[in-house]
Structure 1
Amino acid sequence: MRLLPYAPAAPPQVRANPSPSRKSRQPPCALPFPDALRAAAAAAAVSLSLLSGDAVGAWAVTERPPELCREEDASIKDEVRTKVVATNEQLVEEAWEVVNEGFLPDAGSRPWSQEMWMKKKQDILQSSIRSRSRAHDIIQKMLANLGDPYTRFLSPSEFSKMSKYDMTGIGLNLREIPDDNGSSKLMVLGLILDGPAHSAGVRQGDELLSINGTDVMGKSAFDVSTMLQGPKDTFVTIKVKHGNCGPVESMKVQRQLVARTPIFYRLEKKENEDSSVGYIHIKEFNAVAKKDLVSALRRLQNSGASYFVLDLRDNLGGLVQAGIEIAKLFLNKGDTVIYTTGRDRQVQNTIVAERGPLVTTPLMVCILW
């Protein structure tokens, strides 16, 4: 994954599409570790995500000396304007290059080749791009042409929200499902337990029909998630269909943008034994997951946990970086957490653990299978 040079100062984080919907059955724990945790972290990854920042370049303008003529003043303004336009064009070109270097031809639903992609670049850059918002629009349309739902462009505001809060602002994740009419419908893939949507009566498998009276049929999950977002404590009215043949219900849901802890833990003592088990369930990889997991591990260890059970079943996915940082807590220094490769097999980006594990007691991991 390559990050654009205009990315925000905050560490890049990408909200991932969670795994396909599954029944809430609880399969047995799967070993060995750390392979299981690596797989969970990798499941949060997407094929490509493009990030951009707000800055278009800083220009210091000193007070004009009295002897400076009007023609010279105009030339200076033209030069500054040209540089700003070039920055917008460079942003678009950089996004184009990321796809050109790493996109896999079979990743999208439409045919792709470097020749076709080169023509797309030539067509786009024929005219000037005079605003950052226009550059963002061009990139979004350019990536939409790929037909790949996992290749996305995040504007600075979208990136800021997704790096801090849940995907929708009401605690649910959506997935596009093809329907019989050749279009697609939006199904609720997962919910945050006791989150706003869950408390209002939304359940996994429900179909989202409208938002504030606007029909969402045929819209992408990403676009609809943006429609659901809004200021904290404001309300959004959604209409859902419960299951395939259930009733249609309209409900008013209060947005809750504060990231809630996805970590639930307890200490369990085994009968007729002196040992204790520290049980930890991670419901999603959000912005506070690592911090709260570290706190849970330390508290359980101080309470006498002899070993740990890490439950990743029914995990909704989440931020790639959060999953990576959590995996590092259990790996030895230098161990590979995750690696990414593109079309060029000679180029591989590898992320490794920088220090030793936080705990060295035995660990079991429960995952979906």
Structure 2
Amino acid sequence: MRKRTLLVTILVICSLLLNCFVGSPIASAFTQDQKLLLQSWRLVNQAYIDNSFNNQNWWLLRQKFLQRHLHDRKETYDTIDEMLATLDEPFTRLLRPGQYNNLQMSTAGELSGVGLQININPETGKLEVVAPLTGSPAESAGIKARDRILKIDGVDTTTLTLDEAATKMRGANGTQVSLTIKPYKDEKVIRQINIMRAHISLSPVFADIDNQTQNIPIGYVRLSQFSANAAQDVADAVANLEQQGTKAYILDLRNNPGGLLQAGIEVARLWLNNGTIVHTVDRQGIRDSFSAFGSALTEAPLAVLVNEGTASASEIVSGALQDNGRGILVGEKTFGKGLIQSLFELPDGAGLAVTVAKYETPNHKDIHRLGIIPDEVVPQDPISYQQIGTDIDLQYQAAIKLLISNMAVVHAS
């Protein structure tokens, strides 16, 4: 009887093993496309912030997609997109080789294209301009914030992802791209614009000094994104403004979509002598903190301009300065992106952005989908770069008044 039981047990085990091999290809038998799919699955499996994977069996999902016959790389990419879509989280995504290369150039501080920051409007689902880069071909063509991009080289943008739209607008220096634009202020007009792509140096900083403020020189520093050179460029700008006798500062983070986490931390350190900058929380719930550890470049009063386009690393800096009492936030509620992605390069030159952690402000505020409320809320319709700092820029003018008022109180006491 025991022998029979043992025999049955062995047969059951062999049957299970056979089923495993039949249901899942042997590793050595994987095609190159299957290996690419499998590596993408592994990266998410190892690093993704939600270890429930949106309350689904991630292993069974792997088996399901591996059983597909992948005929070419496009089909493989589409399958990876489909797999990642089950997470129902837009920031974990596949970047095709061109998209991944463009992202690397952007964060490195240079690219060739038209110079537009774009986003999908969460309410309308339409592709919109966040802002044109200063001095870019797009700015010269008169494209403004909130303009809607209907077509790129004749392709309907409703059929494109955000990354695909950005890739289509980038290209070799001297080549041309056609954009169909519906202006924000006059939606009855549709403009067809042919723009020559150019090499764009992405120094993310513009700085100037306002000497028309009751004899109190106020330095203005606008940061458009957190690329690898952001902290150094801000430091150079502040040092130059200090030499000109600046008594207070405005840091403009409006329409800054973020960028590198480390760049955000380094920029915050420029303004803080000490204090926590940000807390991060990974999938195990393990917290890590980043703090200021040296002397700030200046202790002059600071106002920070924010709006609904202020996102990600911009919100890290805004939250750090607000929670530490270092700066007054002026403007509108920020975007509310409190997730951190890591980039992984795949063997064929594509990349995978995986959400690996969330962040909290120094006071442990989770701002994801909530945003940061400014200390001084000042609504404002979109304005062009040429109108920044003018009387039309209500948020800028409010920041000026607050700085002068606060400085007057300090001197009076």
Fold in common (TM above 0.5): yes
- State the alpha-carbon separation in 2 of the partners of residues 350 and 131 from structure 1: 44
Mapped partners of 2:52, 2:133: distance in 1: 33
C-alpha separation in 2, matches of 1:253 and 1:136: 30
State the Cα distance separating 1:248 from its structure 2 match: 0.9
Count of residue pairs brought into register by the alignment: 276
* Corresponding residue of 2:250: 310
Are 2:140 and 1:170 aligned? no
Structure 1 position 260 matched with structure 2 position 208: no
Q: Which residue in the other structure is 2:287 paired with? A: 348
Displacement of 1:269 in angstroms is 5.1
Q: Supply the distance in 1 between the matched residues of 2:91 and 2:250 (Cα, whole angstroms).
A: 28
CA distance in 2, matches of 1:330, 1:224: 36
1:288-347 C-alpha deviation (Å, 9 max, x unpaired): 332221211222223333x441322523323133323211222346x4332333554x22
Q: Distance in 1 between matches of 2:70 and 2:200?
A: 36
For structure 1, which runs of at least 5 residues remain unmatched after alignment? 1-78, 106-111
Q: 2:86 — aligned with what?
A: 145
**SS at the partner of 1:217?**
helix
Amino acid at match of 2:157: V
Moved more, 133-142 or 220-229: 133-142
Tell me what 2:265 maps to: 324
CA–CA distance in structure 2, aligned partners of residues 113 and 283 of structure 1: 37
Quote the Cα distance in structure 2 between the aligned partners of 1:121 and 1:280: 48
Query: Relative to structure 1, is the Cα distance of residues 208 and 104 closer, same or farther in structure 2, using a 3 angstrom cutoff?
Result: farther
What secondary structure, in the 3-state scheme, does the structure 1 residue paired with 2:146 have?
Answer: coil
Change (3 A) 1:338 1:128: farther
| Higher-helix-fraction structure | 2
Letter aligned with residue 262 of structure 1: P
Q: 1:213 to 1:276 in 2, by over 3 A?
A: closer
**What percent of counterpart residues are identical?**
24
Q: How does 1:35-46 map to 2 (within 5 A)?
A: none
Alignment match, 2:344? none
Q: RMSD in angstroms over aligned alpha carbons?
A: 3.8
- Structure 1 residues 242 and 101: CA distance shift in structure 2, 3 A: closer
What SS does the corresponding residue of 1:361 show, helix, strand or coil?
Answer: coil
Greater relative CO (CA pairs within 8 A, separation 6+): 1
More displaced, 154-163 or 192-201? 154-163
1:173-219 deviation line (CA, Å, top 9, x unaligned): 32324788xxx422223222332212112222222111112222242
- Aligned residue number for residue 304 of structure 2: 366
CA distance in 2, matches of 1:146, 1:86: 20
Check 1:168–1:189 CA distance in 2 against 1; reply closer, same or farther (3 A cut).
Answer: farther
For the 8 Å contact 2:132–2:138, the answer to whether it is kept is yes
- TM-score, normalised relative to structure 1: 0.61
Classify 1:270/1:163 alpha carbon distance in 2 versus 1 (closer, same or farther; 3 Å): same
Q: For residue 369 of structure 2, what is the aligned residue in structure 1?
A: none
| Aligned CA distance change for structure 1 residues 104 and 240 (closer, same or farther; 3 Å) | farther
What's 1:232 paired with? Answer: 173
TM-score (normalizing by structure 2): 0.56
